[in-house]
Structure 1
Amino acid sequence: MSDTRTAAPAPTAAPAGGAEPMLAVRGVKTFYGNIMALKGVDVDVHRGEIVTLIGSNGAGKSTLMMTIFGQPRAREGQIVYDGRDITKMPTHEIAHLKIAQSPEGRRIFPRMTVFENLQMGASVDGFGHFDEDLLKVFDLFPRLKERINQRGGTLSGGEQQMLAIGRALMSRPRLLMLDEPSLGLAPLIVKQIFDAIRELNRAEGLTVFLVEQNAFHALKLAHRGYVLVNGLVTMTGAGRELLERPEVRAAYLEGGKH
C-alpha cells in the first residue's frame, strides 16, 4: 500500500546560481578485490543543499560515502571538494578539510562517556570553540546533556545516533555526511533525527549529504536526490519530484517500507 500520510512542508530552496559544487564526484569506480562496487558514479552537492542518495541494501551507497573519505580508494574517476582534488588524499587529511562523517552503524567510542566522545569530535578543530559547540549539540539533542557522563555503549540506539551526529558536528564541518542515520531506529526517533538535520540546514546553512534506505523521509527532507542501483546512478531530481515518481514509489515506498 502506498504511503498516504500528509507530507511535511517542502525544504527551503537551496542556494542556486550555477556555482561550482562544493562536492563533485565524477566517474568514480570503486572495487573490492575484482568486484566493481561503483561503476562510474556522478554526484554533485552544492553549498547549502541537503542531497540524498537512496537505494536498496547492497546498491553501493555506503561504498560511495567511504570512497569520498578515501577508504576504499577510487580506482577511477575524480572527487573534488571545495575546488580541491581529494581523490588520492589520505583519510586523516580529508577530515581536516571541514568534512565530517557519521558512519553507518554509528561507531561511537563505547567505553568513553558522551562528553569524551564529543571531545574526540572537537579535537579535529583544535577545541577552539568547544564550549560554544557543546551547547549547540545539547540544544539540538537534549538527551545527550542528560547522559553526559554515561558511557556511549550503554546508550540506546537512538541516543548513540544522536551522539554520532553530535560528535561529527563538534568538528565544525562545512559538509556533513550521514550514512543511514535512521537504520534500526523507532519511528519517533527517526523523526527527531531528521528534524535535527533539517534544522541544521535551515539555521546554520550546513550542507548535508545523506545516504539512506528510508526513501520516504530522505526525499521529503532533501532538496535533491539520486537513486543508486547496483553501483550506478539511475535517476536524479528534486527530492519531492523523485518521491512522486511511480518507479521510485514502487521500489522504495510500497508495502510500508519507510
Structure 2
Amino acid sequence: MSVGGINVLVDETRAIQDGKRAPLLSVRGVKTYYGNIIALKGVDLDVHEGEIVTLIGANGAGKSTLMMTIFGSPRAREGRITYAGQDITRVPTHHIARMSIAQSPEGRRIFPRMTVYENLQMGASVNGGTHFKEDLDRVCDLFPRLRERLYQRGGTMSGGEQQMLAIARALMSRPRLLMLDEPSLGLAPLIVKQIFSVVKELNERDGMTVFLVEQNAYHALKLAHRGYVMVTGTITMTGTGRELLENPQVQAAYLEGGRH
C-alpha cells in the first residue's frame, strides 16, 4: 500500500519493455478547475484490463469530477489521460464515447420521456446497433425487471429500476471499460446488492474492466480488486480492496454505518 498516490509517470512503451502490463486507463497529474476553483489537484490513477477499481471519498471530494474529466467534460487543464495507449486528454466527449468506454453517470440521467426500449436503443447507437437484439437479451437477463418494463417510460419507473436502465444503456455499447458513478446512491439495500452482484458477474464472467466511483465504501471495496481514496481533489491512499477495508483510517472515515 502507498500513501499520497502515485508520483511516478509511467511511460507505456517502457512498461511493456520491462515486462509490465501497461494500464488500460491511466490518469497522470490531472488538474481540473471550475472557473478559478481547483477541483482536482494533480490526480494519478490506473485501471488495468480486467480489474474492478473503485474510488471512494466523501461527498464533494472530487470523485464525480474525475469521472467526468476522463470523459472530457470538464476538460483537464493540466496532466494527461490515456486509454488503451492513446492520449484522450483533448479528445471530444462524443469521440471518447465511441472508443469502447461507457459511463453510467451520477443521477442516472436516463431519457425520462422515452421508453426503456428507446433508452436502450440510444445506448446501442454509439456502436451502430449492430448487435442490438443480442445485447438487448443480454441486459434483460442481467436486469429481468427491464424486460417487464420495455415499453414503459423511463421517468415513471422507481429509482432502482432507473439505475438498472442507466447501467444497461451503458452496456448496450459493448464497452471495454465501464465507468459507474455512484450506482448505489439513494437506493434500497436490496437493490444495491443486486446492482453490485451484476457488476461482479460482468467482471468475472465477461472480463469487463470497471471503474467504480462510490460513497458506499464497504460494498465498493469488498467488490474491488484495488481502490483509491480521494480527499478534496487529491488521492491520499491506494491499495487492494481488502487492504483499504482493513485500514483503520478508512474504517474510521468511511465505513462506520456503511455495512448494509
> TM range, normalised to the smaller chain?
over 0.9
> How is 1:63-74 mapped onto 2 (pairs within 5 angstroms)?
63-74=65-76
Given that residues 25 and 46 in structure 2 are in contact (C-alpha distance below 8 angstroms), is that contact kept between their aligned partners in structure 1? yes
Percent sequence identity is 79
Cα distance in structure 2, aligned partners of 1:23 and 1:251:
27
What number of residue pairs does the alignment pair up? 242
Q: What residue in structure 1 maps to residue 154 of structure 2? A: 152
Post-superposition offset of 1:256: 4.3
Post-superposition CA distance 1:51-87 (Å, at most 9, x none)? 0000000000000000000000000000000000000
Q: 1:70 to 1:256 in 2, by over 3 A?
A: closer
> How far apart in 1 are the matches of 2:251 and 2:121?
41
Partner of 2:251: 249
State the one-letter code of the partner of 2:22. E
Determine the C-alpha separation between the residues in 2 that align with 1:161 and 1:77. Answer: 32
* Structure-to-structure mapping, 1:230-245, within 5 angstroms: 230-245=232-247
How do residues 3-14 of structure 1 correspond to structure 2 at under 5 angstroms?
A: none
Distance change (3 Å), C-alpha of 1:83 and 1:112: same
Corresponding residue of 1:222: 224
2:13 corresponding residue in structure 1: none
Structure 2 residue 89 is the aligned partner of structure 1 residue 98: no
State how far apart, in whole Å, the 1-side matches of 2:131 and 2:69 are.
29
Counterpart of 1:133 (choices 135, 138, 144) is: 135
1:86-125 paired onto structure 2 within 5 Å = 86-125=88-127
Q: Match for 1:90: what amino acid?
A: P
> Hey, what does 1:183 align to over in structure 2?
185
Q: Distance in 2 between matches of 1:255 and 1:70?
A: 35
Q: What is the TM-score when the length of structure 2 is the normalising length?
A: 0.92
Q: Which of the residues 197, 200, 211 maps onto 1:198? A: 200
Verify the 8 A CA contact 2:179 2:212 in the aligned structure 1: yes
CA distance in 2, matches of 1:253, 1:25: 26
Indicate yes or no: 2:34 matched with 1:26.
Answer: no
Q: Offset of 1:153 from its aligned partner?
A: 0.0
Distance 1:151 1:33 in 2: 37
* CA apart distance, 1:47: 0.2
CA distance in 2, matches of 1:157, 1:240: 30
Distance 2:258 2:69 in 1: 31
2:256 partner SS:
helix
SS in 2 for 1:27: strand
Shift of 1:255: 3.6
Q: Give the Cα–Cα distance (whole angstroms) in 2 for the partners of residues 123 and 192 of structure 1.
A: 27
Question: Aligned-pair RMSD on alpha carbons?
Answer: 0.9
Give the C-alpha shift of residue 18 in structure 1.
2.4
Whether contact under 8 Å (2:179, 2:211) holds in the other structure is: yes
Question: Are residues 1:50 and 2:52 paired?
Answer: yes
In 2, Cα distance between equivalents of 1:185 and 1:232 = 28
TM-score, structure 1 as length reference:
0.93
Deviation for aligned residue 1:254: 1.3
Q: Which residue, 35, 38, 51 being the options, matches 2:37? A: 35
